[in-house]
Amino acid sequence: ANGDAEKGEKVFKKCKACHQVGEGAKNRVGPILNGIVGKAAGSDEEFKYSDALAEKAAEGLVWDEASLTEFLAKPKNFIKGTKMSFAGLRKDDDIENLIAYLATFE
Ligand code: HEM
């Protein structure tokens, strides 16, 4: 984990249309992302996930640095049928920095 959380905060602007983090964060189009690094996928009790994501979760997917990197590069390749409408991040640095930023929220 060598990402720069400050740079990652800027990358997170691309996620903000659908996701919140931090104190008082709420589920919106997408689930709250507090504590997401190291968390079991699909585990927000109140969020209604797609069947595709729920299936991955049932298989035991955990959001660690490796799985997040793959997912965020091309969400629809990593989880076919996900309802996350986001093309993905092209730059590895952006992904690394973004994960460092997300890791600052418990
Ligand atoms: C799900 C991250 C952009 C909508 C997720 C999950 C992660 C994530 C980690 C899985 C959460 C879990 O298992 O609890 C991100 C990041 C983004 C981003 C870091 C920016 C780079 C977006 C955007 C939208 C969106 C722009 C809306 C257009 C959703 C939805 C889900 C989801 C609807 C649930 C997917 C499903 O159930 O198949 N996101 N997301 N996300 N995200 Fe995003």
Ligand 1: lining residues by beta carbon, under 6 Å: 14-15, 17-19, 29-31, 33, 36, 41-42, 44, 49-50, 52-53, 63, 72, 82-86, 89, 98
Give the pLDDT band of residue 2 (cuts 50, 70, 90): confident
Work out the average pLDDT over 17-42.
98
- Mean pLDDT across the chain: 97
The ipTM assigned to this model is 0.99
Alpha-helical regions (H) of the chain: 5-11, 51-58, 65-73, 75-78, 92-102
Counting atoms of ligand 1 from 1, which one is nearest the CA of 102? 19
Percent of the chain with pLDDT over 90: 98
| Position 1 pLDDT exceeds 80 | no
30: nearest Cα among 40, 43, 16:
16
Counting atoms of ligand 1 from 1, which one is nearest the CA of 11? 21
pLDDT in tens, 56-91: 999 999 999 999 999 999 999 999 999 999 999 999
**How far apart are the CA of 2 and the centre of ligand 1, in A?**
23
Work out the average pLDDT over 30-56.
98
The span from the CA of 75 to the CA of 96, in Å, is 16
pLDDT for the residue numbered 51: 98
